[in-house]
Structure 1
C-alpha cells in the first residue's frame, strides 16, 4: 500500500532472493576505473566514469558502473574472516555517463516552488543515467559437508536458478544465451534476455579475476538491469487459464554444430511447433562417441497440450516435427538416430 508498481516489484525481487538463501549486502557505490572497465563492459574496454571531487577513499575515486566489484569486496572481507561459503546479493544504482558529455548545472531552482517541466528536464539531463540493478555472487559450498552428505560446491546452475528467481519475481520470462565477457570464463558465460532484449549476464569469473579479489576457488556472478526487467514486465499481470485436458510429452534429440547456442535451437523449436507446445526444457547436451566431431546432440523434453481437446500422439508428433523443421532450416539441425 502506498508503493508504486516498480517499488513493489523491487521488493518482491529482494524478498525472493532472501527466501532462496541469499544475504543482502549493500556496499558503498565507489570503484576504481579498472574495475569499472572490467565489469562494466563485455570486452573490458575503457568506459567513461564519474570521478568524485572529494572521495572518501582515495583508492576508489569513481562511482561504480557495476555492482559486482562491491560484492567481490564483501566476499573478500567474509572469506578473510573464515566465512567461505557465501550466497550474496545487492540491489542498487549504477552510474553510466555517456562519452563526451559534461554533467552538472550552475543553476539551482529556488526552494518552496516546484520547478516547471523544462527546468526538471534540464536538471535530469545534468546527471548521468542511474539505472537500478541487482547482482548475485556465489562461492564455496552450496551444501555444507554433514553426516551422510559430502559438500556440494556452488556452480553456474545455481546462479542461473537465482536469475530465474529474479525474473519470476519481476514478472518476466528469461532465456540464457552463450556469450563472452572479459571478466568471465569462456564457455561459462551467458547473456540474460527477455525476448530479444539483453537485460544482464551470468557467468563464472576467470580464475585470475577471482585471484585478484583474493577469493579462492570458483566465483559465480550475475548482474541484471532490474529497472529494465520491470519495465518489460508491464503493470498488468494476466493469468492464463488452465486446461483440464492431459498433456502429451515427447523428447527430441537434435544434432547441431558445437558453435550453435542451445537457447537458439530451443527458440527455433518453439517458433516452429506452434501454440500446441506448452513447455520445452533442455535435458541433455552430449558430445562424444556417436556424434560427428565438431557437433553436439541436444535433447529437449517437450510438453504439448490443447485447450479444447485431448491431443493424439500424431498431433503431438506433427507439432514436434514442425519445430524440428524450423531448427533444421535455421541451423541445419537433424534428429539424432
Structure 2
C-alpha cells in the first residue's frame, strides 16, 4: 500500500467498557478527519444502531459480524482455543487476509496481544513485540516502551524496542532524530542492573541518537523523546503516572472546595485549570501501539471515551499511511547483530576480546 492510500482499519467495536456506543462514534470521527476506511467488527445489530445516530455519508464503512466477545474474565488461552468468533479475533483475521491494514481495540488486553501474535506473526527479526505508550509533557510527548507486553526481557530485546519506537516517533509523532534513553537508577554509565548495562552497550553501538541513562525523575522534564525499559518496569511507571495524575486532580478539587476564598480562587483559575487538564489528557494520543507485528495494532484503555478512540484510530491511520513497519524492518537490517538468536554474552565478549587482544569469543563458545 502506498503512502497516499486510504488506510483500512478493523475496529473491535465490542471491546472496552462501553462497546459500540463509544467505539463506533470515535472511529467515525477519525475516519471523517483523516480519510480512513473502517471495518466495524462485532454484533451487526448493535453496530447498526450506533451508525444510525451519526452521519456516515462519504465514508467507507463496512460491518463485519462477529458472534462473540472476549470478556475481561476470560483467559487469553481460553479465548484462543474455545472462542474462535470473538470480535477481536475476527478483526485480526481481516488483517491476516489483507482485508484490513490494522486493528484498534479497547477490549481484553491479554486477548488482544495473544490474538495479534497468533494471527499476524512478528516482523522478521523481532523476538518480542513491545507495547508502547505516549505520555503528554510540557514541551513534547514522551514515548515509553515496553509498558507491559514482556515482563522478562533480554538486552537485545530492549534494542529492538528502541528501533521500533524510533520508527513510531518519526512517522507518527513527527519527531525528527528522536533522542533515545534507557531507564535506570542513575545517569552515569554503569548504573543499573545487568539488563540495563548490557543493553546500554548495545544501544551505544547503534546509529540511533542514544543519550544514555535516564532517571525516573527526568522522564517528564528531560529532553529525551523515547524511554526504553522492560515491560515490568514500564508498566509500573505507566500505572504510577496514571495514579498520580488521578490523585493530584482529586486533591486539587478538594482543596479548591474548602471555604469561600478557595472556591473563589478556583473560579478565577478555572480557564487555566481547564488548559492544564487538556495538556495532561491521555486521550489526546489514545491507545498504545503494539509494535513488532505484521500489521498495525493499537490497544486502548478499557474505559476509553470517544475522544481516545478517535485519537487511537487517527494514530493507527498515520502508522499505516507512513509505512512505519517498513522503517522498523530497515532499522533491523541496519543492526543485524541484535536480531540473531544467540547469547548476548557472546556478542559483548567478542567485542571486548577484539579490543584487548584476547580470544574471549572462543572461550564463550566452549
* More strand, by proportion: 1
TM-score range (shorter-chain normalised) is under 0.3
* More helix, by proportion: 2
Higher RCO structure, 1 or 2 (CA under 8 Å, sep 6+)? 2
With the length of structure 2 as denominator, give the TM-score of the two structures.
0.25
Mark the structure with the bigger radius of gyration: 1
